[in-house]
Chains A and B, each alone.
Chain A
Amino acid sequence: DQQVKQNSPSLSVQEGRISILNCDYTNSMFDYFLWYKKYPAEGPTFLISISSIKDKNEDGRFTVFLNKSAKHLSLHIVPSQPGDSAVYFCAATRLSGTYKYIFGTGTRLKVLA
């Protein structure tokens, strides 16, 4: 049972444009969501997170939006840069639990110069 889904395996965007990566979840008990970025031959690195009490969190060029009723979150990158090319994973957890993160399958973003 895939509780966190990223339905787009890949995405290509022109440099300077907006990249939108999507993530859906099924477990309504999740209350904390994160995005990780992964370059080849490296471990995932934390990018941005959002609590379920918010619907938006912004950090520089990165903004995460949460729609609880739709059980959907998205990551917006504006403007996209070639260095953003990586695999992006969304993850979800319950803060009252063990902090075990459930990850999606990832979206490979390619930013074209």
Chain B
Amino acid sequence: DSGVTQTPKHLITATGQRVTLRCSPRSGDLSVYWYQQSLDQGLQFLIQYYNGEERAKGNILERFSAQQFPDLHSELNLSSLELGDSALYFCASSAKFGSNYGYTFGSGTRLTVV
């Protein structure tokens, strides 16, 4: 157990629907990062939050949004889902902006859009 909790582990939904992925960071970590891993692709950075505020944005689609709540958990909202959104979505956390020991990743949410 890495200490980063992601729910649900698996999600199957239809095109056009909306889903919410949840991430609880490791205790004490203020930064949360969201990454997408599509089939045979690397980890694509989506968005970063630090202590409730958005700090960096990557290749995140306008249909996607995220937020970090006062208790530091984060949610990634995916709407108007398309088949191409099927992927593994990882959340990671770190203390402050980062550390010399890297992020700690959760085990991911596998999203399948049918």
| Chain A contacts to B: CB under 8 angstroms | 4, 6, 9, 34, 36, 41-46, 49, 89, 91, 93, 95, 97-106
Whether B42 contacts A89 by the Cβ 8 Å rule is: yes
Whether A45 contacts B2 by the Cβ 8 Å rule is: yes
Whether A100 contacts B58 by the Cβ 8 Å rule is: yes
Interface centre among B4, B33, B97 (most CB of A within 10 A): B97
B104 sits at the interface (CB 8 A): yes
B64 sits at the interface (CB 8 A): no
- List, in ascending order, chain B residues with CB within 8 A of A103's CB: 35, 42-45
Interface centre among B92, B98, B104 (most CB of A within 10 A): B98
Whether A102 contacts B105 by the Cβ 8 Å rule is: no
Whether A100 contacts B48 by the Cβ 8 Å rule is: yes
B24 sits at the interface (CB 8 A): no
Whether A101 contacts B103 by the Cβ 8 Å rule is: yes
| Chain B contacts to A: CB under 8 angstroms | 2, 4, 31, 33, 35, 40-45, 48, 50, 55-56, 58, 90, 92, 94, 97-98, 100-108
Provided the pairs A43-B90, A49-B102 are in contact, do residues A98 and B56 lie with their beta carbons within 8 angstroms? yes
- List, in ascending order, chain A residues with CB within 8 A of B104's CB: 46
Provided the pairs A43-B105, A100-B56 are in contact, do residues A106 and B45 lie with their beta carbons within 8 angstroms? no
Bound form: Cα–Cα A106–B35 in Å? 14
Nearest CB on A from B98, distance (A):
3
- List, in ascending order, chain A residues with CB within 8 A of B40's CB: 9, 105
- List, in ascending order, chain A residues with CB within 8 A of B103's CB: 46, 101
Nearest CB on A from B26, distance (A):
12
Nearest CB on A from B72, distance (A):
16
Bound form: Cα–Cα A98–B94 in Å? 11
- List, in ascending order, chain A residues with CB within 8 A of B2's CB: 43, 45
- List, in ascending order, chain A residues with CB within 8 A of B92's CB: 43
Bound form: Cα–Cα A16–B106 in Å? 31
Interface centre among B2, B50, B103, B106 (most CB of A within 10 A): B103
Whether B101 contacts A49 by the Cβ 8 Å rule is: yes
